A = this chain, B = another copy of it.
Amino acid sequence: MQSPLFTDFYQLTMMSGYLEAGKDKQNSVFELFFRKIPQQGGYCLLSGLEPALEYLENLQFSAEEIEYLASLKLFNQAFLDQLKGFRFRGNVWAIPEGTVVMPHQPLMRIEASLPEAQLVESALLNIVNFNTLIATKAARVVQAAGADSQVLEFGMRRAQGPDGAMSASRAAFIGGCAATSNSLAGMRYGIPVRGTQAHSWIMSFASELESFRAYAHRYPDSALLLVDTYDTLGSGVPNAIQVARELREKGHKLAGIRLDSGDLAQLSISARQMFDEAGFPEVRIVASNDLDEFLVESLRAQGARIDTWGIGTQLVTSKQEPALGGVYKLVSIEESGGWRPCMKISSNPGKATSPGVKQVYRGLSQDGFVGDVIAMASEAAPEGNCSIHDPLFVTPHRLEATHFEPLLEKVMEGGKRTRPAPALTEIRQRGLDQLSKLPVGSLRLHHPASYPSGLSDELYELRRKLLLSARG
C-alpha cells in the first residue's frame, strides 16, 4: 500500500493546518510503542520494521492523489503545491526486527518535521502493530510445539484480506514457522512453501485409494495424504499404508499423512502405531483443524504423535486477541528556546505517556536477558546494576546485569536507510536467539513471569515533575 494517502484523513488536515500556522518546518520527535502484551503473554516479538522503512523511503504523492485531495474542496492550493515535492526526509531510530520487546519501550523513533512525522503515523502503526502481533503469536505456537516438531502457517483463506495473508506469512516466518501454504509469500519473501491435499482431491476420484495412488504417482517422494475424508482409521490410514507399500516397491517413500478432524490425540497415536507396525516409522503425521498454541500444548501433554502442525486462522488473525494496540506519540518538539519534552496527561494514569526522547538499554548476564531500562536518549548505558521504575508504582526494582546494550539503532538518516535490509532468514534467526535468552518463565503460556522493564531514575523523575506541574 505504497501511497501517502494510506493514512488517516486527519493527518492530511493537520498537515495543512501546520502549514497555515507556520509550523510546517517545526521539528518533532514521535515514538511508537504499545502498552499491553496480547493474550497476557510474557513478551512480544517485534516485526514490521523493514516493510515500514520501505514505505518511508518511497513515499511521494502522485498527480492523481493530489487531484483527489483537490476534489475534496477542503485544501488550499499552497498546501497542494507543497505536497508535490513531499518526501520523508527524517531520521528513524528503531529496535531491529526479531527483537523481544516489552510494553512502553519505544520501538521506533521518528525525528522529522511535524507534517512528515504526522503523515506517516497511520501506516507505521498499521504495519508494526499487525506484524508484531503475528510474529508474537507465531513464536507462542512454535514454543508450544517444541524443538522436535515443525509449525507450518496455513492461514490465508481466513486471513483479514489479501495483505492480511501476505503480512501474516512473513511475520509468522519471523516468529519461527518453518513454511507457509501461501505461494505468493513463497515467491515474494523466499519463504519455503508447503501443502498437502484437499478433500476435493479425494472426492473427485471414484475411491479414496485411487485418489491416493494418483497423488503418490505424481509426488512419489513428497506426498502428504489427507486421511479423514471418509473414515480416518477405517479407510484413510489403511489406504495410505497400502500406497506407502506400493511406493516402497518402486524405491520411493510416502512423506506423510494429514489429520484434519476428530480427536487428534487419539487418532495420531493410533495412526502412528499402525504405520510403525506396518514398517513405516518415517512417515510423518501432520495435524490441522483450528489449532492454536493452547491446543498444541494440550495435545503434546496428551501424548499426541504429531510431527508437524498446520496452523491457520488462529495464527494469521491472532484470533484470541486480533489487534496490538500500538500508539505513536509526540515526545519532544523544537521551539525557539530549544526542545520541549511532551507527554500526554490523562485522567486514566495508565494512559499517560513518558516524556522526552528515549533509548532502551537491555541488561545481560551470562544466563541471558535480565531486564530493560527505558532511559532518556541522552543518558549513557547503565554500568552494572541499576534501578528501574514502574511509572505507576512507588518502589523501584533492582536490575543486576553484567552489562547493558542499547536496543534502538539509527536505521534511517535524512530519509535514507543507513544499511540494507537484512535477509528474512537472518531476522528469523534473531528471533529464535532472542527467545532463547529470555528468562524461561516469561515464555510460559499461562501466567508468564513478568520480565523486568521500567523507567530509569532520570526518566521517572522527569515524568513525575511534568505530571505534577500539569496538575498543579
Interface residues of A (CB under 8 A from B): 1, 3, 5-14, 16-18, 20-21, 23, 26, 28, 30, 64-65, 68-69, 72, 74, 114, 118, 121-123, 125-127, 129-131, 133, 154, 156-168, 180-184, 186-187, 193-201, 203-204, 206, 214-215, 217-219, 222, 229-232, 261-262, 313, 317-319, 322-326, 329-330, 333, 335, 342, 344-348, 351, 470
Contacts and interface: CB of A to CB of B under 8 A. Distances in A.
Contact of A322 (B16, B129, B160, B214): B160
A134 B346 CA distance: 32
Contacts of A313: 323, 325
A444 to B, nearest CB: 24
A10 B197 contact: yes
Given A17-B201, A231-B347, 18 more contacts: A6-B166, A9-B180, A10-B181, A10-B195, A13-B219, A14-B201, A20-B218, A118-B200, A125-B157, A126-B161, A126-B164, A129-B157, A160-B160, A160-B323, A161-B163, A162-B167, A261-B347, A317-B317
B127 A162 contact: yes
Contacts of A229: 344-345
A66 to B, nearest CB: 11
A28 B347 contact: no
Contact of A159 (B17, B68, B126): B126
Given A130-B160, A204-B114, A261-B351, A344 B74 contact: no
Given A160-B159, A330-B200, A183 B5 contact: yes
Given A156-B122, A158-B325, A217-B20, A68 B187 contact: yes
Contacts of A194: 9
12 contacts: A3-B184, A10-B195, A10-B197, A20-B214, A68-B187, A72-B193, A127-B162, A133-B160, A157-B326, A159-B160, A160-B161, A160-B322
Pick from A10, A194, A319 the residue with the most CB of B within 10 Å. Answer: A10
A203 B3 contact: no
A65 B187 contact: yes
A76 to B, nearest CB: 9
A198 B347 contact: no
A188 to B, nearest CB: 9
B6 A182 contact: yes
A218 B16 contact: yes
Nearest to A114: B204
A10 B192 CA distance: 13
Contact of A163 (B23, B163, B214): B163
A127 B156 CA distance: 10
A128 to B, nearest CB: 10
> Which 5 A-B pairs give the minimum distances between C-beta atoms?
A163-B163, A10-B195, A1-B162, A9-B195, A160-B160
Given A323-B317, A329-B199, A165 B126 contact: yes
Contacts of A201: 14, 17
A154 B10 CA distance: 10
A196 B12 CA distance: 10
A17 B215 contact: yes
A47 to B, nearest CB: 12
